[in-house]
């Protein structure tokens, strides 16, 4: 199968490619990338005016299967990822049962191969049942195909156990991802501790709860020189700690979510439980610090923390509703519009933190680059296209996003995995093919 893509604007920060090129895909791989290719192909795409990037990689998603298939499945989550321009996603282990055994890891991989249009890489639990008391069989999980380790919403509070986990993950060459939260400070917390929590008369979640654990993880990295990845940073204080870690040359990486870059705690003044997340939405000062850290390279990755919940669960109100936001289908359009177009954030950097950077952290052999001879995972984008977020337009089983009804400038035209289109925006059918 030969697919020829003509006159696209190609942007690949990892390979340092930027310019107008033709791309020839043969049997799932990139065979040629040159300014003008005059070749016969089975199918030709006219991509003039469109942006082509490496397929996006999401380090942090929740697919809910096994155990909570009413919220999401590997199939529906994979379809949502494809609609959002993602070609590889990592699923967190807080399923039922927890992904803490090799057979569960293998089952997820097998199911994803059969049902997901995109690659699904399972992140296995650090501890048995994610309880933070005893290490999971990390070596066996790695052999089974785990792409990394995390206890996700449950931080590894025991520092001795965290030390052992960091050592083991380092020996396996896989990332250790920590949810930074001092639980003793967040019990029954609902929103960011501060002005909004006082106005709504709700228990607050202080910034210190995150920053204490960020500091703990950085100190462990400093003393033992083992890598650690900090999930979904949300505060200025966490950024300051990360800046110190980088100045010390420590092996510490970090991610930020689209919602922590784009939304402040003020969104919760409407008491919309779809904006209830953990860590909570913070202040404008926090947002500005996170944006600058991302632009400067302190924060390495944007990850969605896609956390779908059934509508009836989110309708229980701010106090009782579960934490989490649906993010796979809204991430890229919202970032292109609200961050790049309206705030002047560099497009080059945005693409880098969605492609090359997560690929490097995961040590991926496939994905994250546009390179001759390599697997062709690509995303085609219309920077001027319109994306309206509606229940009907979403592939996810859940719709818990405060962006419902919002129209963004920036749309996913096509998502290509191993040279095959796994999502095609029907609006562009008459434009694309010649």
Q: Tens digits of per-residue pLDDT, 33-58?
A: 999 998 888 999 999 999 999 999 99
Instruction: Give bridge partners of residue 12 from the DSSP assignment.
Output: 17
The widest CA-to-CA distance across the chain, in whole angstroms, is: 67
> What DSSP string describes 332-396?
HHHIIIIIIITT---HHHHHHHHTHHHHHHHT-SSSS---TTSB--EEEEEEEEEEE--TTT--S
- Does 99 lie in the same domain as 35? no
- With residue 245 as reference, give the H or E element that holds it: helix 236-247
Flag whether 60 is in a domain: yes
- Does 64 lie in the same domain as 34? no
Looking at the annotation, which residues are catalytic? Answer: 305
CA distance 178 to 156: 7
- With residue 97 as reference, give the H or E element that holds it: none
If one counts the domains in the chain, the total is 2
- Does 177 lie in the same domain as 69? yes
For 292-311, what is each residue's pLDDT tens digit? 999 999 999 999 999 999 99
Residue 238 DSSP code: H
- Does 243 lie in the same domain as 99? yes
CATH number of the domain residue 105 falls in: 3.20.20.140
- Does 126 lie in the same domain as 35? no
CA distance 336 to 323: 25
- Does 158 lie in the same domain as 44? no
Torsion of CA 91, 96, 102, 106, to 10 degrees: -60
Residue 434 has pLDDT above 70, yes or no: no
CA distance 352 to 300: 9
Structural domain harbouring 327: 55-362
CA distance 254 to 305: 13
The per-residue pLDDT for 38 is 87
Which of 313, 337, 362 is the last residue before a domain boundary? 362
For 62-101, what is each residue's pLDDT tens digit? 999 999 999 999 999 999 999 999 999 999 999 999 999 9
- Does 201 lie in the same domain as 82? yes
For 105-124, what is each residue's pLDDT tens digit? 999 999 999 999 999 999 99
Flag whether 367 is in a domain: no
The per-residue pLDDT for 365 is 86
CA distance 179 to 184: 14
Flag whether 368 is in a domain: no
| CB burial string 382-395: b at 16+ within 10 A, e below | bbebebebeeeebb
- Does 278 lie in the same domain as 229? yes
Burial class (CB in 10 A: 0-12, 13-18, 19+), 46: middle
CA distance 378 to 87: 8
């Amino acid at each position: 199968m030969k697919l020829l893509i003509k006159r696209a604007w190609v942007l690949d920060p990892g390979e340092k490619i930027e310019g107008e090129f033709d791309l020839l895909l043969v049997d799932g791989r990139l065979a040629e990338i040159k300014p003008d290719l005059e070749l016969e192909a089975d199918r030709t795409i006219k991509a003039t005016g469109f942006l082509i990037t490496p397929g996006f990689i999401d380090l942090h998603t929740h697919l809910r299967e096994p155990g909570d298939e009413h919220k999401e499945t590997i199939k529906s989550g994979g379809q949502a990822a494809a609609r959002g321009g993602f070609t590889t996603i990592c699923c967190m282990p807080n399923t039922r049962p927890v992904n803490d055994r090799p057979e569960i890891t293998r089952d997820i991989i097998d199911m994803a191969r059969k049902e997901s249009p995109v690659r699904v890489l399972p992140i296995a639990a650090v501890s048995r049942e994610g309880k933070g008391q005893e290490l999971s069989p990390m070596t066996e999980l790695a052999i089974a195909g785990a792409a990394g380790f995390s206890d996700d919403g449950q931080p590894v509070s025991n520092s001795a156990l965290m030390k052992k986990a960091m050592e083991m993950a380092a020996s396996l060459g896989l990332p250790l991802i920590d949810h930074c939260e001092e639980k003793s400070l967040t019990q029954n917390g609902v929103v960011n501790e501060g002005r909004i929590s006082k106005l709504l008369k709700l228990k607050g979640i202080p910034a210190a709860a995150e920053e204490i654990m960020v500091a703990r993880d950085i100190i462990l990295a400093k003393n033992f020189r083992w890598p650690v990845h900090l999930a979904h940073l949300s505060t200025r204080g966490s950024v300051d700690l990360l800046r110190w870690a980088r100045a010390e040359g420590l092996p510490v990486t970090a991610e930020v979510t689209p919602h922590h870059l784009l939304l402040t705690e003020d969104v919760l003044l409407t008491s919309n439980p779809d904006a209830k997340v953990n860590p909570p939405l913070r202040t404008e000062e926090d947002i500005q610090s996170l944006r600058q850290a991302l632009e400067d390279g302190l924060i390495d990755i944007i990850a969605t923390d896609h956390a779908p919940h059934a509508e009836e669960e989110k309708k229980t109100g701010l106090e009782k509703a579960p934490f989490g936001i649906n993010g796979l289908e809204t991430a890229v359009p919202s970032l292109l519009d609200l961050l790049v177009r309206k705030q002047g954030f560099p497009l080059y950097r945005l693409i880098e933190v969605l492609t090359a950077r997560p690929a490097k952290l995961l040590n991926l052999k496939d994905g994250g680059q546009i390179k001759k001879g390599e697997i062709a995972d690509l995303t085609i984008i219309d920077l001027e296209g319109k994306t309206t977020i509606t229940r009907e337009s979403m592939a996810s089983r859940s719709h818990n996003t405060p962006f419902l009804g919002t129209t963004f400038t920036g749309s996913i035209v096509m998502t290509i995995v191993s040279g095959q289109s796994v999502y095609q925006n029907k609006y562009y059918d008459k434009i694309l093919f010649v």
